[in-house]
């Protein structure tokens, strides 16, 4: 008989780890105990060497489905104590919290069977869950993950639920949100005047009927409210666009199951795998040519964001619906997702006709995750519900606690303590007071989770980013706080390096829409030779002027005009018979030329994102865009892979010069030719520069590489050349990954 102590860290709380250990101990005739503390799970094993080794082997090879083990530390105990049984004992408290918070997980098949089984006491119960599914991050105040530390603390268990909760062989053992209709939260339907109409299954039936009849409603999900309507009702979708001032931006569509999705879109096996996964993200997939839902869902683009019902409430709703549903985040433009019924009534009563709420509070908001499949693998566009908080472990154990504040758009924060890096869920753009409040609230939430008080603060160099202003203000109030500022595009490089734990020189192509450069200009088309500690800008796209600054971001025709001014005289531009010139009055062109000449409100940029805007205007696809990235999506739609030619370009003293491309492009009449040759040209530039640095692995980063066509083109070429290359997959390629890169520089 020997005794061994095991310490396990990672995502090991709220995932059924202790009952798993309990049942495994019974299987191998082991005595002892298991408990939680703020760092993870502790196990004491007392048995034969063979039994303990079998236990450890199975623990490592087949842990609970939701668990993610970062480390297993095994220690032999010389002092022998005799144990009669194996027990799950009380959680311990310590001063140092480091256990990883689990993400919210979609309903499992077992719970789905329960709500559909008329003989089960949870039949029709819309808020059921177990240790394998349900809310985690969205309901937790702090660790350890015990019921008293969640928004379920006020719901006292009935006898039936209590028996399951206390039975280590039951899948609901210590499932903290466990409840039933008798003892748990319930669903209530309101009209937009805050009047109660019905409750529980009757409320679900009634709101389904309202959706079928053409109403726009708000329904509470796992991490916030959705605005919901029939996805095949043109008039209702048009009303939603009008009420929400959302002209063309695509809506995500929720489906009952994978088979219903297949009726409308083309799916690869990998897309089907992710749609059906326990995370249930929104996946961007290709519409069928015969698309039998409303054309207003995703106008002028080939792809649709699809996801499967992921809560029991959603599944009960689909029993009574005629069609798939639009399910988009309920918020005001520029503000975070709404998590309370009262705020829906206050802010969106002019948008929604009815509200379906339940009285389990959402403590931590979380949007739906958005992914796409490239090269048969995930690339994340929005990292949130199901995946986040996202934890990474590193060999370097930090002596200091580090907090990074990310960028201004697609904001996230990251924490580093001991050897753990935690990436928060997507917060959003920090362009409103409400968004900043949400940003600060998220920081406070994660500080509370881990009793975390930062000693090092990392932020962007942009003086006008709200995250930078927040960092400078915090430093002012706490002079002992160490402040580090990281250049935006270098942080993109570091984000990729962090995901793959790279610690060597790389050749990095960082293409995005905007970022504060070291010379004070707006960067966005950068080539670096970089390491974990430093970077050198070896190439960049030649600067051009943004006529009207931010207005040029909304009006691609202004970017196109600026590029024309770089290559032609005013008189020559006025004589050009091309769409982007015709999109202006002659007086406007003359006024903008004066701005261009004198540099009035015309900042310099190297942004590839803005080049996409200009090309959309040259191709007469879009002269004014209604949402970020619209030009890229429409250029992608017009890409023809049978067109293999590209345009001419030059590199002069490290600057990538595109005037030859512009002169060739304006002679083209076919938008498919323009879009295809442009993407081919960007790809060719990357390949040509890569061939000048054959000894360096390649890194691709920045939001432009969310363009699936461009990324797949490069992935295929690099594979042909047997080149070593990297891009973010589990961290967003866009600014949502900046906070991770900021930390990686200093650990």
CB distance 379 to 711 below 8 Å: yes
Q: Crossing angle of helices 556-567/608-618, nearest 10°? A: 90
Residue 122 annotated in active site = no
* Burial of 383 (C-beta count, 10 Å sphere; 0-12/13-18/19+): buried
From residue 549, give the alpha-carbon distance in Å to each of 411, 462, 477, 522, 603.
Answer: 22, 16, 33, 10, 6
Residue 545 parent element (H or E): strand 544-545
Per DSSP, the chain holds a count of helices (H) and strands (E) of 24, 30
Which tokens in the block code for residue 127? 């808020």
- Length of the chain equals 747
Is residue 389 reached through a cis peptide bond, with omega within 30 degrees of 0 on the bond before it?
yes
d(CA 214, CA 209): 9
Distance of CA 401 to the CA centre of its chain: 24
CA 331 – CA 226 distance, rounded (Å): 9
Tell me how far apart the terminal alpha carbons of the chain are, to the nearest angstrom: 43
What would the DSSP string read from start to end of 261-274? HHTTEE--HHHHHH
> Which of 543, 583, 587, 588 has its CA nearest to residue 563?
543
Say which of 18, 172, 382, 708 is annotated catalytic: 18
**Residues 733, 384, 377, 306: is their CA dihedral positive or negative?**
negative
DSSP bridge partners of 391: 422
DSSP string spanning 150-204? BTTTT----HHHHHHHT-TTSTTTT-TT---TTTS--EEEEETTS-EEEEHHHHH
Per-residue burial over 493-526, b if 16 or more Cβ lie within 10 Å, else e, is: bbbbbbbeebeebbbbbbbbbbbbbeeebbbbbb
Strand pairing of 604-605 and 544-545? Answer: antiparallel
Whole-number Å distance between alpha carbons of 213 and 564: 51
In the sheet that holds 68-77, the strands lie side by side as: 68-77, 2-11, 40-47, 31-37, 86-88
Q: How far apart are CA 460 and CA 57, in angstroms?
A: 45
Residue 611 contacts residue 525 (beta carbons within 8 Å):
yes
Close Cβ partners of 489 (under 8 Å, ≥ 6 residues apart): 510, 512, 515, 517, 523, 524, 526, 528, 701, 702
CA distances from 204 to 29, 105, 210, 613 (A): 48, 22, 10, 44
Q: How many CA atoms lie within 13 A of 461 on its CB side?
A: 16
Catalytic residue, chosen from 36, 132, 149, 323, is 36
For residue 422 the two structure tokens come to 């935690």
Is 18 one of the annotated active-site residues of the chain?
A: yes
Catalytic residues, which ones? 18, 36
């Amino acid at each position: 008989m020997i005794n061994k102590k095991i310490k396990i860290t990672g995502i090991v709380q709220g995932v059924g780890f202790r009952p798993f250990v309990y049942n495994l101990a019974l299987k191998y005739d082991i005595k002892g105990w298991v408990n939680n503390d703020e760092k993870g799970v502790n196990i004491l094993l007392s048995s034969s060497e063979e039994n303990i080794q079998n236990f450890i082997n199975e623990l490592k090879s087949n842990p609970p489905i939701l668990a993610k083990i970062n480390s297993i530390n095994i220690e032999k105990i010389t002092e022998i104590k005799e144990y009669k049984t194996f027990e799950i004992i009380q959680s311990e408290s310590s001063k140092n919290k480091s256990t990883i918070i689990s993400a919210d997980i979609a309903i499992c098949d077992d719970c789905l069977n329960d709500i559909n089984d008329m003989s089960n006491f949870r039949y029709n119960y819309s808020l059921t869950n177990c240790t394998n599914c349900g809310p985690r991050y969205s309901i937790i105040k702090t660790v350890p993950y015990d019921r008293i530390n969640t928004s379920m603390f006020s719901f006292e268990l009935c006898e039936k639920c209590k028996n399951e909760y206390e039975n280590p062989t039951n899948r609901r053992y210590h499932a903290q949100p466990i409840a039933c209709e008798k003892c748990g939260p319930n669903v209530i339907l309101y009209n937009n005047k805050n009047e109660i109409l019905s409750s529980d299954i009757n409320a679900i039936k009634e709101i389904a009927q309202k959706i079928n009849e053409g109403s726009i409603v708000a329904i509470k999900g796992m991490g916030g409210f959705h605005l919901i309507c029939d996805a095949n009702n043109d008039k209702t979708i048009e009303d939603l666009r009008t009420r929400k001032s959302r002209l063309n931006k695509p809506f995500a569509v929720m489906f009952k199951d994978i088979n219903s999705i297949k009726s409308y879109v083309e799916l690869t096996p990998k897309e089907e795998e992710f749609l059906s996964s326990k995370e249930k993200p929104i996946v961007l997939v290709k519409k069928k040519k015969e698309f039998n839902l409303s054309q207003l869902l995703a106008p002028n683009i080939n792809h649709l964001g699809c996801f499967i019902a992921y809560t029991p409430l959603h599944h009960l709703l689909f029993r009574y619906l005629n069609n798939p549903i639009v399910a988009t985040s309920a918020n005001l433009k520029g503000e975070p997702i709404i998590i309370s019924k009262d705020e829906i009534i206050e802010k969106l009563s002019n948008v929604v006709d009815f509200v379906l709420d339940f009285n389990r509070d959402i403590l931590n908001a979380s949007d739906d995750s958005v992914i796409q499949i490239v090269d048969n693998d995930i690339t994340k566009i929005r990292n949130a519900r199901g995946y986040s908080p996202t934890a990474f472990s590193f060999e370097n154990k930090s002596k200091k606690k580090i907090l990074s504040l990310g960028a201004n758009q697609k904001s996230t924060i990251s924490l580093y303590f001991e050897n753990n890096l935690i990436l928060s869920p997507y917060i959003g753009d920090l362009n409103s007071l409400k968004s900043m409040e949400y940003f600060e609230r998220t920081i406070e939430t994660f500080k509370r989770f881990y009793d975390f008080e930062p000693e090092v603060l990392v932020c962007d160099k942009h003086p006008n980013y709200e995250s930078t202003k927040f960092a400078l203000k915090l430093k002012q109030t706490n002079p002992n706080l160490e402040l580090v500022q990281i250049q935006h595009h270098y942080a993109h490089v570091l984000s990729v390096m962090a995901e793959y734990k790279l610690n060597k020189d790389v050749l990095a192509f960082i293409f995005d829409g905007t970022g504060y450069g070291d010379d004070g200009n707006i960067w966005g088309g950068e080539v670096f030779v970089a390491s974990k500690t430093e970077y050198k800008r070896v190439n960049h796209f030649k600067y051009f002027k943004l006529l009207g600054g931010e207005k040029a971001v909304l009006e691609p025709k202004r970017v196109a005009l600026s590029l024309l001014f770089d290559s032609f005289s005013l008189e020559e531009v006025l004589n050009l018979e091309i769409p982007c010139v015709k999109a202006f009055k002659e007086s406007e062109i003359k006024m903008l030329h004066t701005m261009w000449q004198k540099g009035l409100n015309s900042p310099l940029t190297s942004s590839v994102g803005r080049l996409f805007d200009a090309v959309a205007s040259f191709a007469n696809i879009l002269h004014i865009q209604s949402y970020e990235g619209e030009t890229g999506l429409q250029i992608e739609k017009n890409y023809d892979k049978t067109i293999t030619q590209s345009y001419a370009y030059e590199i002069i003293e490290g600057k990538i010069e595109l005037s030859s491309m512009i002169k060739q492009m304006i002679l083209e009449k076919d938008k498919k030719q323009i879009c295809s040759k442009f993407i081919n040209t960007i790809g060719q530039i990357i390949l040509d520069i890569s061939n000048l640095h054959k000894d360096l692995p390649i890194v691709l980063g920045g939001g432009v590489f969310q363009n699936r066509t461009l990324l797949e083109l490069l992935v295929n070429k690099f594979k042909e050349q047997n080149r070593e290359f990297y891009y973010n997959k589990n961290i967003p390629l866009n600014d949502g990954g900046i906070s991770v890169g900021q930390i990686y520089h200093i650990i």
